[in-house]
Amino acid sequence: MKSGVIIFIVILVTLAGAAGMVIFGYKPAILKIEDEGIRITGIYGLHMEFKDITSVEVADVIPRVKMRTNGYSFGGTNKGYFTVEEWGRTRLFTHVRYKGPYLIITDRDGMRTVYRTFDNEQANMVLDNIRSRRQ
């Protein structure tokens, strides 16, 4: 009897944890402009200083994502590290609800970070803001 209750509790806690990760991971990442750099919030989020950004561009499409290497991928949401054709290891922050262009930020190490914006206005505002602060 006791072992059955313990097994039930372990299964319940495991399922609750998995559901929490799916729900938390599905939440869109938010890109914030701060004094010293940019911050992308949420699971697999990051902070990148303006001085470490070597280029920033906007694109309507990106090369095909080949596989997830260390990240979250569920229901049209990708966050974390992925292998992307032509680029290799790339950080992605894309969400099915965001339909705007991709913001592609490259750092000093050549690592690309791709953030899909929700519209052209956001993409251009972030692009202009980062470019003006890198000078």
102-44-99 Cα angle (round to 5): 25
- Beta-bridge partners for 73: 78
- Using left for φ > 0, alpha for ψ between -120 and 50, and beta otherwise, residue 110 falls in left
Which residues, including other chains, have CB under 8 Å from residue 134's CB and lie 6 or more apart?
A: 50, 51, 53, 56
Task: From 66, 56, 33, 60, select the one nearest 105 (Cα to Cα).
Answer: 56
33-69 pLDDT, tens digit each = 999 999 999 888 999 999 999 999 999 999 999 999 9
- H or E stretch covering 89: strand 88-94
| Greater pLDDT, 85 or 29 | 85
Entry pTM: 0.82
- In the chain, what's the furthest Cα-to-Cα distance? 69
Neighbours of 76 (CB within 10 A): 11
66-114 pLDDT, tens digit each = 999 998 888 888 999 999 999 999 999 998 888 889 999 999 999 999 9
